[in-house]
Amino acid sequence: MNKARQVLAMNELNASRFSVGLHTAVAIIAGYIPTMLGTDLAMAAGIVLLIVTGMVAKKMANRKETKWWLSNGLALYLLVWFVAGIYFYNTGLLA
């Protein structure tokens, strides 16, 4: 029984790691989007990417709870998206 709990805990940890990694990578891409689309469409594209990424992460991790997605995806996505946008703007990659 103890072995089964360890396997279950490891699967939950791997699902969280997958979600965090996926949301981080997509948020960096979303931070770079204004260079291609302009700032008007970038906000809409970032939100669409957030929703699609959340659906993919929940499906891949076999999770249904919104609370899990809020803690393992949404908060990190918004933070990284904001930081990446500032970084690309300050380095001159955004005109």
Note the pLDDT of residue 83: 92
| pLDDT of 54 over the 50 cut | yes
Q: Are 89 and 55 in contact (CB under 8 A)?
A: no
Q: Are 20 and 76 in contact (CB under 8 A)?
A: yes
Token pair, residue 70, equals 């809020």
21-54 core/surface letters (b: 16 or more CB in 10 A; e: else): ebbbebbbebbbbbeeeeeeebeebbeebbeebb
pTM of the model: 0.80
Q: What is the mean pLDDT of residues 34-43?
A: 78
Report the interhelical angle of 75-90 vs 2-32 (nearest 10°). 30
